[in-house]
Amino acid sequence: MEIRLQAVDIHKTFILHLQGGKRLNVLKRVDLTVEAGECVALTGPSGIGKSTFLKILYGNYKPDSGRVLIYHLGQWINTVEAEPYQILDIRRSTIGYVSQFLRVIPRVPAIEIVMEPLQRLGLSVQECRVRAEELLRRLNLSESLWTVSPTTFSGGEQQRVNLARSLIYPYSILLLDEPTASLDEKNRAIVVQLIQEAKRRGTAVVGVFHDRTVREALATRYFNLSMEESG
């Protein structure tokens, strides 16, 4: 199977200058390779750096050293050294990310938030809307909420908007940080289904899954960060 993502020798230390330069060593010599169709579940105790690692893969955090190689449009790009516009390009068409908290852009209705990843790639508004509605329906988000901005949504509703936004486009890599945390059992099952479909399409998934059933349903492999750290 083809390799989609390679994290090589990742080191990350936070230096908190506002607290007198206090150092938090979070990740040390982490290596991970992910192939198409795989789902790697990051494990380890709370605070070990699972979310941090995902954010480094997304380019949201910058490691002190190491490389993050992403296979993008036929080329390998090291996002640690890449130009901002390249990283944005990769986020547009190669990597999707479901964060733990939805940062809401105010005043934009939920349906448009979900449509956006497709729209900016040039698809017609009509087509984007149809697909977005399909997804939201499947995720059981009430139709009355589609034209409203998610600022007033519950955690679970926000999460479903977040998920829809990342699933509407077939990214080749999907990063998921607690994707079912605020969902009830029924919706959790639906999300699991959707991610299975993504895997079958060949998406490489890396995720943090607190819920054991979800983890066991999705993971093809486990990756324990605490073991890596001691290396």
Partner 1 sequence: MTHLKEPLLKVMGVTKYFGDRVGCRDISFELWPGEVLGIVGESGSGKTTLLNTLSFHLEPTRGTILYWMEEEGPVNVGQLPESKKRHLMRTEWGMVRQNPREGLRMRVSAGANIGERLMAIGVRHYGRIRAEVQRWLERVEIDTDRANDLPETFSGGMLQRLQIARNLVSRPRLVFMDEPTGGLDVSVQARLLDLLRALVAELHLSLIIVTHDLGVVRLLSHRLLVMRQGEIVESGLTDQVLDDPHHPYTQLLVSSVIQA
Of 1, 2, 9, 16, the one binding partner 1 (CB under 8 A) is 16
Q: Where are the beta strands (DSSP E) in the chain?
A: 3-16, 22-35, 39-43, 65-72, 75-78, 95-98, 173-177, 204-208, 221-224
Q: How far apart (Å, rounded) are the C-alpha atoms in residues 126 and 118?
A: 11
Of 1, 24, 105, 125, the one binding partner 1 (CB under 8 A) is 105
Confirm or reject binding of residue 59 to partner 1 (CB under 8 A).
yes
Confirm or reject binding of residue 138 to partner 1 (CB under 8 A).
no
Residue given tokens 């080749």 in the structure block: 172
Cβ atoms of 56 and 63 closer than 8 Å: yes
Find the helix packing angle between 155-167 and 110-119, rounded to 10°.
20
Q: Which is nearer to partner 1, 71 or 97 (CB)?
A: 97
Distance of CA 178 to the CA centre of its chain: 9
**Residue 61 beta carbon to partner 1: minimum distance, rounded to whole angstroms:** 4
Confirm or reject binding of residue 231 to partner 1 (CB under 8 A).
no
Q: Which is nearer to partner 1, 51 or 180 (CB)?
A: 51
**Residue 120 beta carbon to partner 1: minimum distance, rounded to whole angstroms:** 7
Enumerate helices (H) and strands (E) in the chain, giving the number of each.
8, 9
Per the DSSP assignment, residues forming a β-bridge with 159 are none
Stretch that binds partner 1, among 26-34, 86-94, 169-177, 202-210 (CB under 8 A): 86-94
Of 45, 74, 75, 107, the one binding partner 1 (CB under 8 A) is 107
Binding residues among 66-85 for partner 1 as defined by CB under 8 A: 83-85
**Residue 184 beta carbon to partner 1: minimum distance, rounded to whole angstroms:** 28
Confirm or reject binding of residue 32 to partner 1 (CB under 8 A).
no
Residue given tokens 């789902």 in the structure block: 39
Binding residues among 116-135 for partner 1 as defined by CB under 8 A: 120
Of 4, 55, 131, 215, the one binding partner 1 (CB under 8 A) is 55
Q: Which is nearer to partner 1, 103 or 200 (CB)?
A: 103
**124 CB-near residues (< 8 Å, 6+ apart):** none
DSSP code per residue over 41-69: EEESSTTSSHHHHHHHHHTSS--SEEEEE
Of 27, 70, 87, 111, the one binding partner 1 (CB under 8 A) is 87
- Report the interface residues with partner 1, using CB under 8 A: 15-18, 55, 59-62, 83-85, 87-89, 92, 105-107, 120
